Structure 1
Amino acid sequence: MAGVAGACSISAPSAARILPEEVVVWEILVRLPARELLRCRAACQSWRRLTSAADFLLAHHQHQPSLPLVSFSAKDRDEQGYFDKVVDAFDHRLVPAERRRPVLGFRDRRDGRVVLHASCHGLILLSVSTRRFQISNPATGQWASLPALVGAHVAGMYPSGEEYRILYWKQRFKGDSPVYHVLTVGSSEEPRCIGLPIASAPLNQLFLEGMNPSSSHPPVLLHSCLHSLQGRKRSSMVVFDTVGESFRPMRSPFFDDDWDPYLHEIDGTLRISCLNSVVLKIWVLLDYDKEVWSLRYHVKVPRVGRLYGSFDSSSSYTVVSEKGDMLLFLFNRMFHCDS
Structure 2
Amino acid sequence: MAKGSKKKKGSSATRNPAAELTDDLIVEILSRLPAKSVHRCRRVCRRWRRLISDPHHRKKLPQTLAGFFHLSVNESRFPVEARHFVNVSGIGGRLPHVCPSFSFLPRFERISMVDSCGGLLLCQCFESSDAFRYVVFNPCTEEWIVLLESGFHPKDRGFCARLGFDPDVSSQFHVFEFVPCDDVTGVKIYSSETREWNYRESEWCTDTGISDICRSAFCNGMLHLVSYQRSIVSVDVEGRTWRTTKVPKMEGVEEVRDWLPGSICQSEGKLYYLSQYNTVPISLSIWLLEDYSKDEWTLKHSVTNELLYEKINSKYKSSEFCYVVIVHLDCNLIYYITRDYTLMAYDMDHKESRVIQALGLHFEPQAEEWQLRAFIRNRRAP
State if a TM-score over 0.5 links the two structures: yes
How far apart are the structure 2 equivalents of 1:145 and 1:244?
Answer: 22
> Which position in structure 2 is the counterpart of 1:227?
224
- Following TM superposition, by how much is the alpha carbon of 1:33 offset from its aligned partner in structure 2, in angstroms? 5.9
Tell me: CA distance 1:110–1:253, structure 2 relative to 1, closer, same or farther (3 Å): same
TM-score, normalised with respect to structure 1: 0.65
How far apart are the structure 1 equivalents of 2:267 and 2:227?
Answer: 20
> Unaligned 5+ residue runs, structure 2?
1-14, 59-63, 154-158, 352-382
Tell me: CA distance 1:179–1:229, structure 2 relative to 1, closer, same or farther (3 Å): closer
> Which position in structure 2 is the counterpart of 1:197?
202
Q: Is the 8 A contact 1:262 1:318 kept in 2?
A: no
- The alignment covers a number of residue pairs equal to 287
Say which SS state the counterpart of residue 207 (structure 2) adopts. Answer: helix
Q: How does 1:237-276 map to 2 (within 5 A)?
A: 237-242=232-237, 245-254=240-249, 256-258=254-256, 261-275=262-276
> Which position in structure 1 is the counterpart of 2:177?
168
Q: Is the 8 A contact 1:182 1:192 kept in 2?
A: yes
- Following TM superposition, by how much is the alpha carbon of 1:191 offset from its aligned partner in structure 2, in angstroms? 0.8
How far apart are the structure 2 equivalents of 1:110 and 1:162?
Answer: 27
State the one-letter code of the partner of 2:300.
R
> Which position in structure 1 is the counterpart of 2:328?
320
How far apart are the structure 1 equivalents of 2:286 and 2:182?
Answer: 37
1:136 counterpart = 2:142:
no
Tell me: CA distance 1:318–1:71, structure 2 relative to 1, closer, same or farther (3 Å): same
Q: How does 1:200-211 map to 2 (within 5 A)?
A: 203-206=205-208, 209=209, 211=210
State the one-letter code of the partner of 1:310.
E
- Following TM superposition, by how much is the alpha carbon of 1:153 offset from its aligned partner in structure 2, in angstroms? 2.5
How far apart are the structure 2 equivalents of 1:205 and 1:134?
Answer: 30
- Following TM superposition, by how much is the alpha carbon of 1:240 offset from its aligned partner in structure 2, in angstroms? 1.4
How far apart are the structure 2 equivalents of 1:82 and 1:127?
Answer: 19
> Which position in structure 2 is the counterpart of 1:119?
117
RMSD: 4.6
- Following TM superposition, by how much is the alpha carbon of 1:111 offset from its aligned partner in structure 2, in angstroms? 3.7
Query: Which structure shows the higher helix fraction?
Result: 1
Q: Deviations over 1:25-52 (max 9, x none)?
A: x9948983696255x79xxxxxxxxx97
> Which position in structure 2 is the counterpart of 1:86?
84
Q: Is the 8 A contact 2:178 2:184 kept in 1?
A: no
TM-score, normalised with respect to structure 2: 0.58
Q: How does 1:278-289 map to 2 (within 5 A)?
A: 278-289=282-293
Tell me: CA distance 1:324–1:107, structure 2 relative to 1, closer, same or farther (3 Å): closer
State the one-letter code of the partner of 1:154.
A
How far apart are the structure 2 equivalents of 1:180 and 1:306?
Answer: 43
Tell me: CA distance 1:134–1:31, structure 2 relative to 1, closer, same or farther (3 Å): farther
Q: Deviations over 1:215-253 (max 9, x none)?
A: x3332233322222111xx61111213356321111321
More relative contact order, 1 or 2 (CA 8 Å, 6+ apart):
2
- Following TM superposition, by how much is the alpha carbon of 1:198 offset from its aligned partner in structure 2, in angstroms? 2.9
Tell me: CA distance 1:227–1:252, structure 2 relative to 1, closer, same or farther (3 Å): same
Say which SS state the counterpart of residue 299 (structure 1) adopts. Answer: strand
Q: Is the 8 A contact 1:117 1:126 kept in 2?
A: yes
State the one-letter code of the partner of 2:198.
R
- Following TM superposition, by how much is the alpha carbon of 1:140 offset from its aligned partner in structure 2, in angstroms? 2.8
> Which position in structure 2 is the counterpart of 1:336?
345
Say which SS state the counterpart of residue 262 (structure 2) adopts. Answer: strand
> Which position in structure 2 is the counterpart of 1:72?
70
How far apart are the structure 2 equivalents of 1:81 and 1:56?
Answer: 45
Structure 1 residue aligned with 2:297, among 293, 296, 304?
Answer: 293
- Following TM superposition, by how much is the alpha carbon of 1:205 offset from its aligned partner in structure 2, in angstroms? 0.8
Percent sequence identity over aligned pairs? 14
Q: Is the 8 A contact 2:263 2:275 kept in 1?
A: yes
- Following TM superposition, by how much is the alpha carbon of 1:135 offset from its aligned partner in structure 2, in angstroms? 0.9
> Which position in structure 2 is the counterpart of 1:5?
none
Q: Is the 8 A contact 1:282 1:324 kept in 2?
A: no
Tell me: CA distance 1:242–1:132, structure 2 relative to 1, closer, same or farther (3 Å): closer
- Following TM superposition, by how much is the alpha carbon of 1:280 offset from its aligned partner in structure 2, in angstroms? 1.5
Tell me: CA distance 1:28–1:89, structure 2 relative to 1, closer, same or farther (3 Å): farther
> Which position in structure 2 is the counterpart of 1:310?
320
Say which SS state the counterpart of residue 290 (structure 1) adopts. Answer: coil
Q: Deviations over 1:49-98 (max 9, x none)?
A: xx9799459986993569765221369xxx9978832345644xx57x99
> Unaligned 5+ residue runs, structure 1?
1-17, 42-50
Say which SS state the counterpart of residue 206 (structure 2) adopts. Answer: helix
Structure 2 residue aligned with 1:182, among 175, 189, 192?
Answer: 189
Say which SS state the counterpart of residue 204 (structure 1) adopts. Answer: coil
Q: Deviations over 1:257-276 (max 9, x none)?
A: 32562212234432212235
Say which SS state the counterpart of residue 117 (structure 1) adopts. Answer: strand
Q: How does 1:96-111 map to 2 (within 5 A)?
A: 103-106=98-101, 111=109
Q: Is the 8 A contact 2:102 2:139 kept in 1?
A: no
